Structure 1
Amino acid sequence: MKSGLVSEFDAVSKTTDGAVCGFLKSTASPPASAWNDAGSLKWALNCDFLGRNLMSVATSVAACGPKCQSNPQCSHFTWTNYQGGTCWLKKNSASDCDAVVKTDSGAVCGFLKFQ
C-alpha cells in the first residue's frame, strides 16, 4: 500500500514482473463557494489539478496566477509550498470541475477565465 496523492499520470510501464497498480480516484472538488474571482483568474484554496504539467517555477503564491497569464501555453495552475513555493503551470483547458481537494501542501489552484 502507498499513500499520497497520485493520478494516472504518475503510473509508469513495468513489464518485467507482471506488476499491477491502481489508485482511489477522488471526485471531490472544492465547493463552489470556495472559488474566488480575481479579474481574469478564478482560484481556490486546498485544491490541485492533476497532470498536464507544462513547467514548474519557484515563486510566491501571489505570483503564480500572473506567471500563468504571462505564458501563452498555460491555461491553469497549482501552487504548493514544495521547496519554499512552487507554481505548477499547466496546459490544456481546465475548469473548477477538474479540481481535486488537496489539503497537505497549502495548495492553491486556479485557471484563466476566457471571455
Structure 2
Amino acid sequence: MTSRTVLLCLPLLLTVLSCLVEAAWEDWNTGYGGVKWLLNCDFPGYDIGNRPSSGQDCGRICMENPNCNHFSHFNGICYMKTVPIAVPRTPANGVMCGFLPCHHLYDPLSGHYCYNKG
C-alpha cells in the first residue's frame, strides 16, 4: 500500500468510525437529567455505594453523588459506581445500567468536563 492510498482511505475510515460511535451513543435511552441507560447490562465492580430504589430513580441517585459516574439497578437496589473511562458495559440479564454523560470528568479533547458515550 502506498502512502497515497493510505491518505485516500483515511477519511473514509474516520467517517466509518464516527458513524459507529454515534450509533453506539444512540443505542442508549435517555432518562431524568439526561442520564443514559440500557437494560440487560452492567459495569461490574467499581461500586461506591448502594441504596434501595426504583429503576427510575437510580440515575437521579447517581447524579446526587459527586463521585458517581455510572450506575446499575438490580432487584430494587441502585448501585452507584465510579467507572474508568475505558471500561465498556457487560451483558447482564435483568440488570439496568447507565451513566452520566457529563459528570465530574475532564475530556482533554474538548476542554470540557464530560464523559464518554458508553
Amino acid at match of 2:81: K
Structure number with greater Rg is 2
Residue ranges of structure 2 left out of the alignment (5+ in a row):
1-22, 103-113
Which residue does the alignment assign to 1:37?
Answer: 30
Secondary structure of 2:79 counterpart: strand
TM-score (norm 1): 0.61
Answer whether contact 1:75 1:94 (CA < 8 A) is retained: no
Bigger relative contact order, structure 1 or 2 (CA pairs below 8 A, ≥6 apart): 1
2-side partners of 1:67 and 1:42: how far apart?
13
The root-mean-square deviation of aligned C-alpha atoms, in Å, is 2.0
User: Where in structure 1 do 4 or more consecutive aligned residues deviate above 6 Å?
Assistant: none
The equivalent position to 2:80 in structure 1, one of 86, 89, 92, is 89
Q: 1:94 to 1:47 in 2, by over 3 A?
A: farther
Deviation at 1:35, TM superposition (A): 1.5
Amino acid at match of 1:112: L
The equivalent position to 1:100 in structure 2, one of 83, 87, 90, is 90
Structure 2 matches for 1:50-89, cutoff 5 A?
50-81=44-75, 85-89=76-80
TM-score (norm 2): 0.59
Deviations 1:34-87 (A, max 9, x none): 411234211100000011110011111111000000110101000001xxx001
Answer whether contact 2:69 2:100 (CA < 8 A) is retained: yes
Amino acid at match of 2:97: C
Q: 1:113 to 1:44 in 2, by over 3 A?
A: same
Deviation at 1:93, TM superposition (A): 3.8
The percent identity for this pair of structures is 38
Answer whether contact 1:75 1:93 (CA < 8 A) is retained: no
Residue ranges of structure 1 left out of the alignment (5+ in a row):
1-30
Aligned residues: 79
